[in-house]
């Protein structure tokens, strides 16, 4: 009898058995030959997953916030102008982060469920000599998907460094870092990358690395300073032992396995699979008369969904009922709205059975809390999408 509930939150996610098996291998030395090879392989595969063949990858023990911090700390100097494009909780976090490093930060914030129009970003970039622009590709708080390609083009047009916060998008949503001219793409291991929490991951462009090398002031964060980490990445890439801080050995070995599985699936297939999953789940919510946070499907993420509770029911009771049906979902994150919506992750290793089990549990939860639905309507709508070739 399976006793564990299905984890369908926006991260950590369900992980592939091979990844978990790699986590269970006895921990080796961080300078053992086999581990050095694993680290090298992971660095090389990151460039393929990010579609950034000439980028500089970093694998650091830490969280997605550390990856955000590392990008900001290394690229900002006191007095630099920075622009944050915010579509939710994590855009606001980047605004606060960059101020800590002495930047003059402007922020363009979208209304809940929407994005900032490209014309407004273009206009703002014309007003000042900005050094840096950051945006959240998929904000985990709202499930809104930003137009990364267009923002990358604006960065190139205005000669501004662009940072894509891809914590909830890398290896799920389409990202072509080098082709789109994005200077830093960062993420964390526990989302669509498919590894338990504990790794901060990013790939920096040559332009970003040159900007860092030409700094006039020291980096204000010792642990995040590329001066300390770049020699480590270069050493492992050349299959040589090195040390600054002890790497998360088992996590790096699991990362190697997960990146291999991602590349075996193929990036195009993976983008399309996540897109189909997102469309199917949103179709299910629509069939159940459940409204989602994004104002339209064009800007709705494929890696997770933010859905409003029906006004007639108690949100906590709904989540409890969904849990009773064997599926764990997440509550809201935005302070002003956290009691009005919930979030469902559907990324990485999530398959058809997981998705349908989740929709079934939501239907059960809705019925249990007195919300009238047409039984099976959500499942039917999702399957019609999933059954299409």
Same domain, 365 and 224: no
Residue 284 sits in the same domain as residue 382? yes
Average pLDDT rounded to a whole number, residues 141-161: 98
Please indicate, yes or no, whether residues 277 and 224 belong to a single structural domain of this protein: no
pLDDT of 2 reads: 65
Angle between helices 118-127 and 148-157 (to 10 degrees): 20
DSSP β-bridge partners for residue 345: 304
Q: What is the mean pLDDT of residues 6-23?
A: 97
Predicted pLDDT of residue 24: 95
In whole angstroms, what is the distance from residue 2 CA to residue 326 CA?
10
Q: What is the mean pLDDT of residues 193-217?
A: 98
* Same domain as 229, residue 261: yes
User: Are 245 and 281 contained in the same domain?
Assistant: no
Angle, CA of 28, 32 and 33, to the nearest 5°:
130
Question: How far is Cα 334 from Cα 338, in angstroms, rounded to an integer?
Answer: 5
Do 319 and 364 belong to one domain? yes
Same domain, 146 and 176: yes
Where is pLDDT greater, at 152 or 3? 152
Under a CB-based contact definition with an 8 Å cutoff, are residues 302 and 278 in contact? yes
Domain count of the chain?
2
Q: CATH number, domain at 381?
A: 3.90.1150.10
Would you state the pLDDT for residue 3? Answer: 78
Vertex 198 angle, CA 192 and 200, to 5°: 70
Over residues 171-197, the mean pLDDT reads: 98
Same domain? 378 vs 307: yes
Cβ contact 173:138 at 8 Å: yes
Q: Do the domain assignments include residue 145?
A: yes
> Of 265, 282, 301, which residue is a domain's last?
265
First-last CA distance in the chain:
34
**Of 215, 237, 265, which residue constitutes the final position of a domain?**
265
pLDDT of residue 107: 98
Please tell me whether residues 226 and 107 are part of one structural domain.
Answer: yes
Residues 50-93 pLDDT 10s: 999 999 999 999 999 999 999 999 999 999 999 999 999 999 99
pLDDT at 1 over 90: no
Whether residue 291 lies inside any domain: the answer is yes
165 & 238 share domain: yes
Whole-prediction pTM: 0.97
Strands 330-331 and 341-345: antiparallel
Mean pLDDT of the residues in the chain: 97
| Alpha-carbon radius of gyration of the chain | 21
Query: Which structural domain range is residue 280 located in?
Result: 6-11+267-386
User: Could you give the CA distance from residue 61 to residue 70 in angstroms, rounded to a whole number?
Assistant: 12
pLDDT in tens, 100-119: 999 999 999 999 999 999 99
Segment 119-136, tens digit of pLDDT: 999 999 999 999 999 999
**Is residue 237 domain-shared with residue 333, that is, in the same domain?**
no
Residue 237 resides in a domain: yes
Same domain, 136 and 226: yes
**Within-domain flag for 1:** no
Closest C-alpha to 274, from 175, 203, 377:
175
- Asked whether residue 372 is assigned to any structural domain, the reply reads yes
CATH code (residue 162) = 3.40.640.10
Pair 285, 307: CB distance under 8 Å: yes
Q: Which of 339, 203, 208, 328 is nearest to 259 (CA)?
A: 203
Q: What is the pLDDT of residues 233-274, one digit of tens each?
A: 999 999 999 999 999 999 999 999 999 999 999 999 999 999
- The mean per-residue pLDDT over the stretch 295-312 comes to 97
Residue given tokens 């200077």 in the structure block: 183
Q: Tell me which of 237, 265, 293 is where a domain ends.
A: 265
Determine, yes or no, domain membership for 342.
yes
């Amino acid at each position: 009898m399976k006793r564990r509930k299905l984890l369908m939150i926006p991260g950590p996610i369900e992980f592939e058995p091979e990844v978990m098996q790699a986590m269970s291998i006895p921990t080796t030395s961080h300078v053992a030959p086999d581990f050095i090879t694993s680290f090298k392989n992971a660095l090389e595969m990151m460039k393929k997953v990010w579609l950034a063949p000439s980028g500089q990858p970093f694998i650091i023990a830490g969280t997605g916030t550390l990856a955000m911090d590392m990008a900001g700390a290394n690229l900002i100097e006191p007095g630099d102008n920075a622009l944050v494009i915010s579509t939710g909780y994590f855009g606001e976090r980047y605004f606060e982060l960059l101020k800590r490093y002495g930047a003059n930060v402007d922020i363009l914030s979208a209304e809940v469920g929407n994005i900032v129009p490209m014309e407004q970003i273009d206009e703002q970039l014309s007003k000042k000599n900005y050094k840096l622009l950051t945006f959240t590709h998929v904000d985990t708080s709202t499930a809104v998907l930003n137009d990364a390609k267009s923002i990358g083009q604006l960065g190139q047009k205005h000669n501004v460094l662009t940072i894509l916060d891809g914590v909830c998008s890398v290896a799920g949503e389409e990202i072509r870092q080098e082709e789109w001219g994005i200077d830093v793409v960062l993420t964390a291991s526990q989302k669509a990358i498919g590894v338990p929490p504990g790794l901060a991951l990013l790939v920096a462009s040559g332009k970003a690395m040159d900007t860092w090398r030409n700094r006039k002031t020291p980096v204000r964060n010792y642990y995040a300073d590329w001066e300390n980490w770049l020699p480590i990445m270069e050493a492992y890439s050349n299959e040589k032992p090195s040390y600054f801080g002890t790497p998360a050995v088992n996590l790096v070995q699991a990362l190697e396995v997960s990146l291999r599985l991602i590349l075996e699936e193929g990036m195009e297939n993976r983008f399309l699979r996540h897109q189909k999953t997102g469309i199917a789940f949103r179709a299910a919510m629509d069939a159940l008369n459940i409204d989602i946070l994004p104002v339209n499907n064009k800007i709705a993420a494929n890696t997770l969904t933010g859905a409003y509770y029906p006004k007639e029911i108690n949100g906590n009771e709904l989540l409890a009922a969904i849990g009773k049906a064997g599926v764990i979902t997440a509550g809201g994150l935005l302070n002003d709205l956290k009691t009005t919506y919930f979030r469902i992750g559907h990324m990485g290793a999530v398959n058809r059975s997981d998705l349908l089990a989740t929709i079934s549990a939501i239907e059960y939860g809705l019925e249990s809390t007195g919300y009238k639905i047409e039984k099976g309507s959500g499942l039917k709508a999702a399957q019609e999408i999933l059954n299409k070739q």
